[in-house]
Amino acid sequence: MDARIRTELTIPLSLHGFSTVGRVFTFDGLLDGREHLAIGLGSCSAAVRGVPAAEQSPLVRLHSECLTGDVLGSERCDCGPQLHESLARITDEGGYLLYLRQEGRGIGLYEKLDAYTLQDTGLDTYQANLALGHEADERDYTPAAQMLDALGIRRLRLLTNNPDKAAQLEAAGLVIAEQVPTTVHLSDANARYLAAKALRGAHTLDVAVGGRGGGLPDR
């Protein structure tokens, strides 16, 4: 199914003292009917329609919504610092941040918070999803592929440590010229979470082999 750009507009952005300008795109025809956004930054903050993008490889981040991390600054996960890092790096190199409405790896906010309460009893982030009757990760990046297609992007550099994002975009026909890792934003509060991602979620996080104080715990 094809999607098309519905609206584009320029919005000045400021987060944790970092200011930039975003070209914000909305879409019609996205597979899951959710209100995902694409934000063009740096050299991609100007209108892009009609620009041949075939030979370009913009830096692209698929950022899954995390209200607790992105908005409230929760330290249980690394989403807030990753969002900040992504805005800065993409502004610098030129590309897009796709803000995907996939709260809680696709299970929604209330279910994620229920999963947090289970994690407080000892389950890891994936076990908690399963205990609630969900998949460990329910995200489908088909709408992201549709958005990139609507923006005229066929080839990109993907800012992620999650190989599933690259695999799903490639399966949708996009060319991943490079998988660019994000910084590992490790803190005492998110150490168990990042360890679970590295050990059980196959994320390519250097913390799995080192970390602070002799390495991360097993969950």
Q: Does 77 bind Zn ion (CB under 5 A)?
A: yes
Q: Does 66 bind Zn ion (CB under 5 A)?
A: yes
Choose, from 70, 114, 124, 137, the residue flagged as catalytic.
137
85 labelled as ligand-binding? no
* Residue 190 interface partner, choices Zn ion, ligand GTP, none, CB cut-off 5-8 Å depending on type: none
Regarding beta strands 155-159 and 95-100, do their DSSP bridges make them parallel or antiparallel, or are they unpaired?
unpaired
Give the whole-angstrom CA distance, residue 85 versus residue 82. 5
Q: Does 69 bind Zn ion (CB under 5 A)?
A: yes
Give the whole-angstrom CA distance, residue 153 versus residue 147. 9
- Which residue from 130, 78, 139 is spatially nearest to 86, judged by alpha carbons? 78
- 133 CB contacts (<8 Å, ≥6 apart)? none
120 catalytically annotated: no
CA distances for 118 relative to 51, 66, 111, 191, angstroms: 48, 18, 11, 17
Residues 113-152 that bind ligand GTP (CB under 6 A): 115, 125, 129
Choose, from 139, 154, 157, 219, the residue flagged as catalytic.
139
Residues 86-105 that bind ligand GTP (CB under 6 A): 102-105
As to burial, measured by CB atoms within 10 angstroms (0-12 exposed, 13-18 middle, 19+ buried), residue 49 is exposed
Q: How many residues bind ligand GTP (CB under 6 A)?
A: 23
Q: Does 169 bind ligand GTP (CB under 6 A)?
A: no
Q: 79 vs 115, which CB is nearer to Zn ion?
A: 79
As to burial, measured by CB atoms within 10 angstroms (0-12 exposed, 13-18 middle, 19+ buried), residue 52 is exposed
64 labelled as ligand-binding? yes
139 catalytically annotated: yes
Give the whole-angstrom CA distance, residue 195 versus residue 190. 9
Binding residues for ligand GTP, rule: CB under 6 A, are 64-66, 77-79, 82, 102-105, 107, 112, 115, 125, 129, 160-162, 165, 182, 197, 203
Binding residues for GTP: 61-65, 82, 103-105, 125, 160, 165
> Which residues of the chain form contacts with Zn ion (CB under 5 A)?
66, 69, 77, 79
